[in-house]
Amino acid sequence: MKQIGLLLKALSLCLVALCLLDANHCVANDGEGKTLKDAYNGKFLIGVAVNTRQVDGVDSLAQSVIKQHFNAIVAENCMKSGMLQPKQGAFNFSDADKFVAFGEANNLFVTGHCLVWHSQAPRWFFTDKDGNDVSRDTLIARMKTHIQTVVGHFKGKVKGWDVVNEAIEDDGSYRQSKFYKIIGEDFIELAFRFAYEADPDCELYYNDYNMNKQGKREAVVKMVQNLQKKGIKIDGIGMQAHCTLTYPTIADEEASIEAFCRLGVKVMITELDVSVLPNPFEYNTADVNQSAEYKEKLNPYGKELPDSASQALTNRYLDLYHLFLRHKGCISRVAVWGVSDKGSWKNNFPVWGRTDYPLLFDRNYLPKPVVKKLIEAGEASK
């Protein structure tokens, strides 16, 4: 038994070595040449968040997995406001341009992420030269310039934008962000109006985490209805879906998918990952402001994932994709937040320095057993 195990390990190392030699011909698929994007063709787009090293080809193995299995990409970091406009008026599009060119060259649906977000936004955005908060009018003007310059720059190339990210708390109240505190709740409709003016053909989305929570679900529905009543274009709602093995329940996630579908907008699963690690908090959240101190017991799988946990991950992903397939009529895209476990943000969030296994491809960029099962599920769904 042990020898067979060793033999399998040796074989997989050989495969990795072959991949390293010739990344573009690396057989990082399900073993039968089938791909996720083909299996879900006609159902929904299969998306992935990509980073600059992947676009540049430095991470060539990840790049070949992207080209092979995915037909939609979203920028993991390079389109956030702090990256695009680190200093007022000094736009830097170099990484974002390469990201978009990569998408175009490989015929991928390109989503921009994200125009208005409290996090990874530069400090100058909200303050004057003395460090005090700017006036409402000034912040509106800065928001308008940022949105219109960025959306205008990528007009016709970026097919959909996360216009506003994470504006609502889990209980349905507005997040007390600088945008909210300085402008008021209409910063959301203003952002959508500005984006529409810059590219009327681009799809415009609201994106948030913990969309399964009843309070957030109801507030998002109300907010979208309000935009619709005013005739402001909103095309879709993105549900981030940073999950664990047990959170959220399929029932809660489904209730939100259904509520959002009833609004007549597209629903997207935008940042899917499934953490297998203990959650240090009372309940799960993807609030980037949250962090907990490292403890050994919070990092149980430093070396490898035991079979039982790997099986649980497979089952969890299957349950989620079966849910998405039930709603394929209104779900337009399901995107995972990263290519392989190696580069996942979950290794450092909400606890820095852990070893998590939340994605579909392992640290050697090889498909986990779940990939074959997901392909079968996609193919089986009529």
Cα 214 to Cα 249: distance, rounded to the nearest angstrom: 12
Q: Closest CB to ligand XIL among 134 and 288? A: 288
> What SS3 class is residue 198?
helix
Q: Least Å distance between CB 330 and ligand XIL?
A: 22
Cβ proximity to ligand XIL, 74 vs 259, nearer residue? 74
Burial (0-12, 13-18, 19+ Cβ within 10 Å), 270: buried
Q: Which is nearer to ligand XIL, 16 or 195 (CB)?
A: 195
Peptide bond preceding 122 in cis form (omega within 30 of 0): no
- Closest-by-Cβ residue to ligand XIL is 345
Least distance in Å: CB of 57 to ligand XIL? 19
H, E, C per residue of 265-316: CEEEEEEEEEECCCCCCCCCCCCCCCCECCCHHHCCCCCCCCHHHHHHHHHH
Q: Which is nearer to ligand XIL, 45 or 359 (CB)?
A: 359
The first and second tokens of residue 36, run together, are 């996720």
Q: In the complex, what is the shortest distance from the CB of residue 307 to ligand XIL, in angstroms, rounded to a whole number? A: 28
Half-sphere exposure of 380 (CA within 13 A, CB side): 10
CB of 242 to ligand XIL, least distance (A): 7
| CA 337 to chain CA centroid, nearest Å | 4
185 is an active site residue: no
Rounded to 10 degrees, the C-alpha dihedral 218/168/75/293 comes to -120
Angle at CA 285, nearest 5°, toward 364 and 240? 65
Closest alpha carbon to 92 in 82, 104, 105: 82
**The one catalytic residue among 166, 253, 254, 296:** 166
**41 or 120: CB nearest ligand XIL:** 120
C-beta of 118 vs 327, nearer to ligand XIL: 118
Q: How far is the CB of 345 from ligand XIL (least distance, A)?
A: 3
Q: Is 32 a catalytic residue?
A: no
Alpha carbons 62 and 70: distance in angstroms, whole number = 11
Q: What is the closest distance, in whole angstroms, from the C-beta atom of residue 117 to ligand XIL in the complex?
A: 7
Residues in the site for ligand XIL, rule: CB under 6 A?
Answer: 76-77, 165, 240, 271, 286, 288, 345
Q: Which of 76, 203, 253, 271 is catalytic?
A: 271
The catalytic site residues sit at: 166, 271
